[in-house]
Amino acid sequence: MPRGQKSKCRAREKRRQAQEEPEDMVSASSPTAALYCNPQGPQRAPAEGATAAAASSVTSREGGSFRERAARSSWIPTFTESIRRGPIDEKVVMMVYYMLYKYEMKEPISKGDMLRNVIQMYKYHFHEILRRASEHMELIFGLDLKEMDPKRHIYVLVNKLQLSYDASLIDESVVPKTGLLMTILGVIFTRGNRATEEEIWQILNVMGIYDGWEHFIYGEPRRFITHDLVQENYLEYHRVADSDPPRYEFLWGPRAHVETSKMKVLEFLAKIHRTTPNAFPVWYEEALKDEEERAKARAAARARYAARRNARPTATDSSSGSFSEV
């Protein structure tokens, strides 16, 4: 067969295979997958990098605390090396760390402070730096940047989960891990609402998260996933029935159903792929049905609450009854 014809045959075969394979919502082709990865590999500890040095030279009203925390951070240098290519990229990483510092201190973030403490001479790139940094905050840490005062340009970071009570998962004293949880919930949702342990780790490996290796953001992943998230009712972890050798699977826990929804998780995954939820029609339809069921449940709960309030005797009713008896 001529060489040109062989190339065409190979190209047709690749297109056929691509059409047969289901689209993976969290895949190696994801534009943010590299942001999770330790570029030095799971066996190497992160070394001090340019971001820590840059952070130590920041002059800000926050004083030494911001500089000292950045300089001694173990994950920031690795995070920097995974995405740094030039001065703007360096500022993006600095902005991410500055936002995390503000989140830990429970302080709002003003445009003026960002320009003075991080952006500095790159003020004409402010919107690009802020957009990219807020995207990293959302997809890696599960924190949304909200503008609470448009006139004064003051922002706050809000956890993507509608928290029902305090938990170590979102403890402000540590790096938030909500982004990892949202990813796992997305894998479960897109695998028919249950995912085997093998499927979960396959995706996590793409993100540079390996069983038994300390991750520079998430720590020891197996304990966090199979113990912490299960204990806090975000995940259910069961042995697959009649499996020999034993195999395990994950489902959404009751707290995940309360604090997020299929639509929010689908929006999170769609953002990873820089598209919209309706680009995945099967899952989008399921998420819409879930939204409808939730709306009905909320309406029923409000109706029950209103009925109980109306059934309660008021003070006036009680006093009227006593006068009639006299």
pLDDT at 43 over 50: no
pTM of the model: 0.71
> Cis (ω within 30 of 0) for the bond into 176?
no
Per-residue pLDDT band at 171 (split at 50, 70, 90): low
How far apart (Å, rounded) are the C-alpha atoms in residues 287 and 273? 18
How far apart (Å, rounded) are the C-alpha atoms in residues 55 and 66? 8
| 26 three-class SS | coil
Neighbours of 251 (CB within 10 A): 14
Residue 88, H or E segment:
helix 87-105
Per-residue pLDDT band at 325 (split at 50, 70, 90): very low
User: In the prediction, which pLDDT does 25 show?
Assistant: 55
Per-residue pLDDT band at 24 (split at 50, 70, 90): low
User: In the prediction, which pLDDT does 121 show?
Assistant: 92
DSSP 128-182: HHHHHHHHHHHHHH-EEEEEEETTTTEEEEEESS--SS--GGG-TTS---HHHHH
Domains detected in the chain: 33-159 (1.10.10.1200), 171-272 (1.10.10.1210)
pLDDT at 130 over 90: yes
pLDDT at 15 over 50: no
Mean pLDDT of 23-27: 54
Instruction: List residues bridging with 156 in a β-sheet.
Output: 146
Mean pLDDT of 80-87: 61
Percentage above 70 pLDDT, the chain: 66
User: In the prediction, which pLDDT does 238 show?
Assistant: 94
Per-residue pLDDT band at 244 (split at 50, 70, 90): confident
Sequence-separated (6 or more) residues with CB below 8 Å from residue 156: 108, 109, 145, 146, 148
How far apart (Å, rounded) are the C-alpha atoms in residues 42 and 55? 25
How far apart (Å, rounded) are the C-alpha atoms in residues 319 and 245? 71
- The number of residues making up the chain comes to 326
DSSP 177-244: -HHHHHHHHHHHHHTTS-EEHHHHHHHHHHTT--TTS-BTTTBSHHHIIIIIHHHTTSEEEEEPTT-S
pLDDT at 268 over 50: yes
* Range from 106-110, 170-174, 223-227 carrying the lowest mean pLDDT: 170-174
